[in-house]
Amino acid sequence: MKTETKASANAQVRKGEGVETLIKGGTVFTASDSFKADLLIRGEKIVELGERIEPAPAARVVDAKGLEVYPGGVDAHTHFELPFMGTVSADDFESGTIAAACGGTTTLIDFVIPSKGGSILEALEAWHKKAAGKAVIDYGFHMALVDFNDQIASDMVKVIRDGIPSFKCFMAYKGALMVDDAQLLEVLSVTKKHGGLLSVHAENGDMLSYLMKHLLEEGKTGPEFHPAAHPAVAEGESAHRAIALAKMAGATLFIVHLSCQESLKEVKAARCRGQLVLAETCPQYLLLDDSLYRKNGFEAAKWVMSPPLRDKSGMEKLWEGLRDGFLQSVATDHCSFRFKGQKDMGKEAFTKIPNGIPAVGDRVNLLYTYGVRKKRLSRSQFAAVTATNPAKIFGLYPQKGTIAVGSDADLVLFDPGKKGRISKENTHHRVDYSAFEGFELEGLPTLVMSRGKVVAKDDEFVGQKGRGKYIKRSQFDEGGWR
């Protein structure tokens, strides 16, 4: 942002209308269009878009000349304050949403993960408690299912009706979160019948645990062996199986954190046969590769995540998958652990390194520089994969994920000329390293708005703890994806 002025020092609240903000002179990019427009915000909503809107006397005017205006980012995959692998992920709903806001994300969907045998409704309550009063941007929840029984089936229907239409099952993490094929089928039949959508973590947990056991027996205990325990063939097999199960159930399937050709090929084949399978990938699979596991000894633990980073040769294919529409969304799978005190729990065995990386604050910036500026994505594709598509898939649209009259005023103003560099020194993540250390950024958000309020300016958080609202989402609508 170049300048911000106030038409009146005391921006007044017009009776019943709320404060007006006029964003003037920017270029608006949505998933389908780009146009020069002024944008009028009243209270929390966009109320007018037009070539030339004159400010009311009390309006706050933001000069957006030379700036690009995008819908606020929607990160549909985070894990804040998650108890996992003997520890708890480091970012909570305060630090995680502050990092998100500074990096251009204005809505996120976090995963409720119940314990095995536990009630999903009780787990949901627990997640509401973690988020309320802390989140600085709006958020929703997906429900993970680590079990299946009649109680869960009826609670699934309750949560769908109450604004949580999306579920996740783990085909990996054997002995902890993993479900079997029969359970997957049961879940798919409920989602199909009641307007839900099932996501899967597609890695074959039996293959993984077999490999882990044998690698450890051979004394291969360091983090450099993590990718050997998570081969791409296990992701491809699992994607294939999940797609077959979804076909049999007649349900739509969403594959989270897709990392390799083996599973992308399965998604493409299904789509080409006319089966609706949707998928997301993550910045780490687009931009980092498995050579990181082979450098600097235990340092590799920083990138221990599941699925793991893959061979460099597949990365351009994932960008192509985004461009061609086989991958609809880029989410972070943000699940941060400090290197000292958390990742080092796995010093003796890589299988004990808590899985996950910090990324929620970096997603939009990385996609802008390495997608838009490197000409891998058009600006509209960037808006689509960072905001519009996840909003549509997960029932947030058109409240979130676009720039339109009536939508929430969730916006990111990008200065294409502003440069930066990702580093642990300037991260908002509550950890002691950055997974994308040294990545240069070309074009940065100068102003981020959530429901009409500025929450970040030039990477500085200026919002309010607890202002983030829980958003109930609509049921899955397959219209538009066929």
List residues near ligand URP by CB under 6 A.
79, 201, 257, 305-306, 333, 335, 355-356
Residue 356 interaction partner, one of ligand URP, Zn ion, none, beta carbon < 5-8 Å per kind: ligand URP
Residue type, 342: Q
Residue 463 interaction partner, one of ligand URP, Zn ion, none, beta carbon < 5-8 Å per kind: none
In whole angstroms, the minimum distance from the beta carbon of 249 to Zn ion comes to 21
Indicate the residue among 110 and 415 with the shorter CB distance to ligand URP: 110
Ramachandran class of 9: left when φ > 0, alpha when ψ lies in -120 to 50, beta otherwise:
alpha
Query: Mind giving me the DSSP string for 158-220?
Result: HHHHTT--EEEEESSSTTTTB--HHHHHHHHHHHHHHT-EEEEE-S-HHHHHHHHHHHHHTT-
11 Cα distance to chain centroid: 35
Residue from 20, 91, 333, 415 touching Zn ion (CB under 5 A): that is 333
With CB under 5 A as the contact rule, which of the stretches 195-203, 205-213, 243-251, 265-273 interacts with Zn ion? 195-203
Indicate the residue among 201 and 302 with the shorter CB distance to Zn ion: 201
Q: Retrieve residue 33's tokens.
A: 């269009």
In whole angstroms, the minimum distance from the beta carbon of 163 to ligand URP comes to 22
Indicate the residue among 61 and 360 with the shorter CB distance to Zn ion: 360
# of chain residues touching Zn ion (CB under 5 A) = 2
Indicate the residue among 61 and 184 with the shorter CB distance to ligand URP: 184
In whole angstroms, the minimum distance from the beta carbon of 230 to Zn ion comes to 11
Residue 447 interaction partner, one of Zn ion, ligand URP, none, beta carbon < 5-8 Å per kind: none
278 Cα distance to chain centroid: 14
In whole angstroms, the minimum distance from the beta carbon of 284 to Zn ion comes to 12
Indicate the residue among 25 and 73 with the shorter CB distance to Zn ion: 73
Cα separation, 451 vs 71, whole angstroms = 11
Residue 305 interaction partner, one of Zn ion, ligand URP, none, beta carbon < 5-8 Å per kind: ligand URP
In whole angstroms, the minimum distance from the beta carbon of 457 to ligand URP comes to 31
Cα separation, 442 vs 356, whole angstroms = 26
In whole angstroms, the minimum distance from the beta carbon of 399 to ligand URP comes to 26
Indicate the residue among 30 and 351 with the shorter CB distance to Zn ion: 351
Query: Pairing between strand 105-112 and 453-457?
Result: unpaired
Residue 407 interaction partner, one of Zn ion, ligand URP, none, beta carbon < 5-8 Å per kind: none
Angle at 401 between CA 471 and CA 257, to 5 degrees: 85
Q: Does 363 bind Zn ion (CB under 5 A)?
A: no
With CB under 5 A as the contact rule, which of the stretches 48-56, 200-208, 262-270, 276-284 interacts with Zn ion? 200-208
Q: Which residue is nearest to ligand URP (CB)?
A: 355
In whole angstroms, the minimum distance from the beta carbon of 332 to ligand URP comes to 10
Indicate the residue among 26 and 308 with the shorter CB distance to ligand URP: 308
In whole angstroms, the minimum distance from the beta carbon of 88 to ligand URP comes to 13
Count of alpha carbons within 13 angstroms of residue 203, beta-carbon side: 26
215-218's contacts with Cβ under 8 Å and 24+ in sequence apart are 215/350, 216/349, 216/351
Q: Which residue is nearest to Zn ion (CB)?
A: 201
Ramachandran class of 188: left when φ > 0, alpha when ψ lies in -120 to 50, beta otherwise:
alpha
Closest C-alpha among 336, 450, 356, 371 to residue 108: 450
Query: Mind giving me the DSSP string for 424-457?
Result: TTT--SSSS--TTTT-EEEEEEEEEEETTEEEEE
Q: Does 201 bind Zn ion (CB under 5 A)?
A: yes
Indicate the residue among 355 and 427 with the shorter CB distance to ligand URP: 355
Residue 355 interaction partner, one of Zn ion, ligand URP, none, beta carbon < 5-8 Å per kind: ligand URP
Number of helices (H) and strands (E), helices first, in the chain? Answer: 12, 20
| Largest interatomic CA distance in the chain | 74
Indicate the residue among 361 and 463 with the shorter CB distance to ligand URP: 361
Which residues make Cβ contacts (< 8 Å) with residue 281, sequence separation at least 6? 257, 258, 259, 318, 321, 322, 327, 329, 330
In whole angstroms, the minimum distance from the beta carbon of 355 to ligand URP comes to 3
Indicate the residue among 39 and 309 with the shorter CB distance to ligand URP: 309
Cα separation, 357 vs 431, whole angstroms = 10
Strand partners, 75: 108
**DSSP-based three-state secondary structure for 287:** helix
**DSSP-based three-state secondary structure for 262:** helix
In whole angstroms, the minimum distance from the beta carbon of 185 to ligand URP comes to 21
Indicate the residue among 37 and 359 with the shorter CB distance to ligand URP: 359
In whole angstroms, the minimum distance from the beta carbon of 335 to ligand URP comes to 4
Residue numbers at the binding site for Zn ion (CB under 5 A) = 201, 333
